[in-house]
Amino acid sequence: MIRKNKKPGLLLFILAAALMVQSCDTIDLYEKNVSIPGYTWSSNFRPEFSFEVKDTTAAYDIYIVLRHTEKYNWNNIWLELSTKGPLDTVVRREKYELLLATNKQWLGSAMDDIYEHRVRISPTEGVALHAGTYTFSIGHIMREDPLRHVMNIGLRVEKKPTSFQN
């Protein structure tokens, strides 16, 4: 006689959770996304992102996260990222162009008419961060102002996975 498991959902949940934990190869330090009011991003709206670094032995990857609708008018976006670290006496400002589409399709991941882009802005080897608090702010520097159909802007910082070699 074969007995059926009366709680197959619980078994599937445990299996999925075990696979997710095993498949994680990065440790998130920080991620925050800010909604753009009315999906209309004014150039004077510059969300701030602050986080504290404790582990100075790790290298970190820094990503900008952007969500927009399919009605966004451009295949790129120009951003100004302002950074102040724990040892900085002045704010550093850097400009980034994020490619969002080719002539044929949007890049990034899609869900219906919403597109999300996670674009690494740190070098491939990552960056070393000092202990202390970092504050980033992100603003757009596009000609269209306000910039329509942008839903969220965010910052993600991850520890780079360590690889053990024998």
Which of 25, 29, 1, 58 has its CA nearest to residue 133?
29
Name the more confident of 23 and 111: 111
pLDDT tens for each residue of 3-55 = 444 555 544 444 444 444 444 444 568 999 999 999 999 999 999 999 999 98
- Give the DSSP letter of residue 87: T
Q: Which amino acid is at 78?
A: W
- The fold of the 28-159 domain, in CATH, is Jelly Rolls (2.60.120)
Q: How far apart are CA 37 and CA 118, in angstroms?
A: 21
pLDDT tens for each residue of 49-108 = 999 999 899 999 999 999 999 999 999 999 999 999 999 888 999 999 999 999 889 998
Q: How far apart are CA 162 and CA 69, in angstroms?
A: 36
Which of 94, 98, 95, 49 has its CA nearest to residue 76?
98
Name the more confident of 20 and 153: 153
Which of 141, 161, 129 has its CA nearest to residue 54?
129
pLDDT of 11 reads 44
Q: How far apart are CA 32 and CA 50, in angstroms?
A: 9
pLDDT of 29 reads 82
CA 106 from centre of chain: 17
114's tokens: 């919403």
* Strand-pair category, 109-111 with 114-120: antiparallel
Q: CA separation (Å) from 127 to 17, 43, 54, 157, 159? A: 30, 28, 14, 10, 10
What confidence tier does 2 reach under pLDDT thresholds 50, 70, 90?
Answer: very low
pLDDT, average across residues 146-154: 97
pTM above 0.85, yes or no: no
CA atoms within 13 A on the CB side of 141: 13
Q: Where are the domains of the chain?
A: 28-159
